Homo-oligomer: A and B are copies of this chain.
């Protein structure tokens, strides 16, 4: 089996490292020549191939920003035996953009893992291990492609969850996309202060956790925000309402109500 990884960054590079096996050729493609060079140096892929050869592979992994996934998908020329798997963080716009001629081949996947880093140097062999992957609208896939996707995600030791793309995007807005917006906004709020350096001297673990996501890639995240615009707005507004409640109680000096408000927040950790 030949697997072609399109996009040799954190997600694609880690997929390549995790999926390697003696009976599997893992080859790569990236429009960034530096990434190609680094991916070869780090033995992430065994060869860099042309896009023509990508299209002739048994499996194509699309590990590029979500707008690029749509662009590539529209122009793919593949046989009925080629499986395409995208790893994008949004699913509805991607699913809607798949040409009907390759709909059965195209597995819409979202592995719930990552780090704030990017590029092939950030790739980790175990990035996917024991994590969840959401497969969306899997009923649209032919058995060959569905079975292959299950086999590959099992090989990465992932837990597979299936979901409707619409539901996925709403959930992802609340649990991933909106929290990224909060982290970006927090970083900018602190930077906008008169003396950010002296403030940051004092940063402890809490601030570091809350601002880690603010390191994330602008291209990747502006495209996710674009594709999940409606749900993201809804989730930001829910958050704003919750923070406004907190502000109002602080303004009024009602700290017993704040105590109760925090107690309710603590309940998250009975679930998580």
Contact = CB atoms under 8 A, between A and B. Distances in A.
Interface string A237-272: 111101111110011010110111111111111011
Interface string A82-95: 00000000000000
B255 A222 contact: yes
Interface secondary structure of A, over-half rule: helix
A242 B202 contact: no
Contacts of A251: 233
Contact of A176 (B207, B235, B239): B207
B192 A271 contact: no
Contact of A113 (B196, B198, B205): B205
A75 interface: no
Given A184-B265, A186-B239, A188-B264, 20 more contacts: A114-B206, A134-B202, A172-B202, A174-B193, A176-B204, A179-B210, A182-B182, A187-B265, A187-B267, A187-B268, A188-B265, A209-B212, A211-B268, A219-B259, A222-B256, A222-B258, A222-B259, A222-B262, A229-B250, A229-B253
Interface of A: 112-115, 131-132, 134, 161, 171-172, 174-176, 178-193, 196-219, 221-223, 225-226, 229, 232-233, 235-240, 242-247, 250-251, 253, 255-256, 258-269, 271-272
26 contacts: A171-B198, A171-B199, A174-B193, A176-B202, A182-B210, A184-B246, A185-B246, A186-B239, A189-B239, A196-B268, A200-B271, A200-B272, A209-B213, A211-B272, A214-B265, A214-B268, A214-B269, A218-B262, A218-B263, A218-B266, A222-B262, A225-B250, A225-B258, A226-B253, A233-B250, A240-B240
